[in-house]
Amino acid sequence: MFNLGVSYYNGEANIDDTLAYAWFLLASEAGSSPGRDAATRSRAEHGESGFRDACLAIGEMYEKGQDLPPSQERAIAWYKRVAEGPGHGVAAERLAGIYLSADNYNDARAWCEAAAKDKMPGGAFCLGYLYQRGLGVKQDFKTAFTWYLQGAKGGNAAATNAVIQMYENGQGTPVDHTEAI
């Protein structure tokens, strides 16, 4: 793990400071003394945002099973390292997605709310999805529409499609084909 971090740091394939830092963190957690030293240097060099990006990269590797064995539990643990503070909506969105796919709607809602609070369009879409379907919340089309609209205004394509369909079907809003178009 440490050597892989070094190869990303030195650019033996591509220079990628985030992946170098991620592999240094993994090496450190595995007990590597050079990995711990490199992770400490990376933290000093890249600060809190670098640490957040490295944790997100590790979470994604575990979530997708790329370069690491797939593990939802480990992905969740890495995402949670950065998701609980302000400005970390990406991790909250990813956690929401994991919990949604596991049909754990209470935890999904909490992370959707955290992402939406951080102004993440995916968090707004997620809340719209839950309210439209009544998953872990009382079904409420008007609230769903409001959340979808917020997500659409933030550029979330799925939220935009949901708004269009709700305008076409008069779900949570009056039928308005012009707005749908």
77 Cβ contact partners less than 8 Å away, ≥ 6 residues apart: 59
Q: How far is CA 127 from the centre of its chain?
A: 14
Mean pLDDT, residues 123-140 taken together? 97
4-47 pLDDT, tens per residue? 999 999 988 788 999 999 999 999 999 999 999 999 999 999 99
Average pLDDT, the chain: 95
Look up tokens 């979470």; give the residue.
Answer: 59
119-130 pLDDT, tens per residue? 999 999 999 999
Residue 144 pLDDT level (bands cut at 50, 70, 90) = very high
State residue 14's pLDDT score: 84
Question: Contact 32/38 with Cβ under 8 angstroms?
Answer: no
Mean pLDDT, residues 148-165 taken together? 98
| Residue 44: how many other CB atoms lie within 10 Å | 9
Predicted TM-score (pTM) of this structure = 0.88
